[in-house]
Amino acid sequence: MKPVVFITRKLPEEVVLPLQEKFTVRMWKSESESVPRDILLKEVAEADALWSVIADRIDKEVFEAAKNLKVVSNLAVGFNNIDTEAAQSKGVIVTNTPGVLTNTTADLTFALLLATARKLIEAESELRKGNWKSWTPMDYTGMDVGGATIGIIGMGRIGEAVARRAMGFDMKVLYHNRSRKIEAEKAYGFEYAELDDLLIQSDFVVILAPFTPETKGLIGQCELALMKKTSVLINVARGGIVDEEALYDALKNNQIWAAGLDVFEVEPVDPNHPLLTLPNVTVLPHIGSASIRTRIGMMNLNANAIIDVLEGREPENRLV
């Protein structure tokens, strides 16, 4: 009998075809809706490989339901939706898609930073509503990006790519990690800062760390209180890293100037979420890696990892 692959979202034919040539492939029918939990648990019971997306909670219950599972391949670089300890204890390999999405996500991060700083979305929507009556001296005035200080929390692959883009805008680059990146400091002049110093000094604070027990709620009331009144917070990492209630208060009380968010604690975010009532928040529906080439590249990494594991080879991008 051929090994069984279960894919939790409807994916383009071209990326699924190489799997269909070798294995029995089952795929959830919807592109936009998550697979219901009961179907996931039923399918995983028979699957040799699971191809998941970040909206799927691949927890202990899933691994316990699985009888033949050898690999979970996640369509993302972040893997906070997967209980990797449970995977390891069951001897299941987990893979992700790093690298291929670095530049695309850095582009989006910078686009969101510019859009938030210069009120692009607000200005565009006012024009469309017919509210552009005349040139005005101070309407839609924002914050300068050129020459400002950017502080990157999580200076990894994407963080560094954002920092290199910031150099093109003559920005001073501060970063905070658990470990220093001496080579990048020497090559580009990036400066390491403790978290508090970075928050105090930066005009733009950009979060690009993974979502882990350590980074959960990393930016809360105390951290936001350290930021400048004129500063902008950009989060393209994961929602849970920022305390959304504290962020709402800081924005509402003009403790910080604005925020640009691609990610939320609960996704999709409720359109009635308090943060969405604020004029100084720019929001996007988690589209960091969303270019055609990158998404197809990510999917090809997932497909290759599944083929490698099911054919007895070591896959690329193995997490556990």
Instruction: Point out the residues that are catalytic.
Output: 238, 267, 286
Distance of alpha carbon 198 from alpha carbon 174, whole angstroms? 7
Q: Say whether residue 315 binds ligand NAP (CB under 6 A).
A: no
3-state secondary structure of 4: strand
Q: What strand order describes the sheet that includes 281-283?
A: 191-192, 172-176, 149-153, 204-207, 232-235, 258-261, 281-283
Distance of alpha carbon 52 from alpha carbon 299, whole angstroms? 11
Region binding ligand NAP by CB under 6 A among candidate stretches 13-21, 61-69, 127-135, 285-293:
285-293
Residue with the shortest CB distance to ligand NAP:
156
Q: Say whether residue 78 binds ligand NAP (CB under 6 A).
A: yes
Residue from 157, 164, 216, 273 touching ligand NAP (CB under 6 A): that is 157
Q: Say whether residue 105 binds ligand NAP (CB under 6 A).
A: yes
CA–chain centroid gap for 199, Å, is 21
Q: Report the candidate in 319, 160, 176, 317 with the shortest Cα–Cα distance to residue 241.
A: 176
Q: Say whether residue 98 binds ligand NAP (CB under 6 A).
A: yes
Contact status, residue 175 vs residue 151, Cβ threshold 8 Å: yes
Residue from 262, 264, 269, 298 touching ligand NAP (CB under 6 A): that is 262
Q: Say whether residue 151 binds ligand NAP (CB under 6 A).
A: no
The residue among 70 and 165 lying less far from ligand NAP, judged by its C-beta, is 165
- Binding residues for ligand NAP, per CB under 6 A? 77-78, 98, 101, 105, 153-159, 176-179, 208-211, 214-215, 236-238, 262-263, 286, 288-289
